Structures are given as structure tokens and as C-alpha cells.
Amino acid sequence: MDEQVEEVRRLLEAIERLERMQDDEACAKAVTQVLDTWPDNHARLRELRQARVQRMKDSGMTWQQIGAVLGVHPTRAQQIAKGLRGSKRPPKKGESEE
């Protein structure tokens, strides 16, 4: 991506501040708190992106234009709008497909 959005920069700076914490216990506790909430926040971010991609499409943008904005292939932009995640890896030998 050409330019980092301010909110992205601030999020990455927060992670860097965690890395710079001198107190190992405080750092480990803070990172644990972040990781404990990450699954919910990850889902929120995916849903936010999906909604915004759908709005871009509804406003008349093509999948190619949306893909260019996101830095992904147009097909991936369509998948995002549908709420589809990346393809799953095939199971390893001996693992069952569930």
C-alpha cells in the first residue's frame, strides 16, 4: 500500500509500544489482554471490511477498481464482499476433512 492510514499507523505503534515495555510481567499481561479480545476484534474487522466493500460496489465501482484500492485481485474483492475467507489448505496425510 502506498500510504498508511492514520488508524493503521496508530495500531502498529501500539504494538511497538508493547514491544518496548521494560516490565516483562506487565508486557505479557497486556499482550494477553489484547490476544484474549483478538478473535472478536478480528471478526469485527472482517465484517467492517465486507460492509465497506459492498458499499463501494453498490456505489458503482467495478471489482477491478475495488481490488486496486485493496491491493488484491478483483476475484478476492468479490470474495470479501461475500464474506468468504481465503481458501483452506488441504488436510495433511492422516487428517480427516471435517
pLDDT of residue 98: 43
Q: Give the model confidence (pLDDT) of 48-77 as tens digits.
A: 999 999 999 999 999 999 999 999 999 999
| Average pLDDT of every residue of the chain | 90
Helix (H, G, I), strand (E, B), or coil: what is residue 94?
coil
pLDDT of residue 97: 47
Name the percent of the chain in helix, strand, coil, to the closest 5: 70, 0, 30
User: pLDDT grade, residue 96 (50/70/90)?
Assistant: low
Question: In angstroms, rounded to a whole number, what is the distance separating the alpha carbons of residues 65 and 10?
Answer: 27
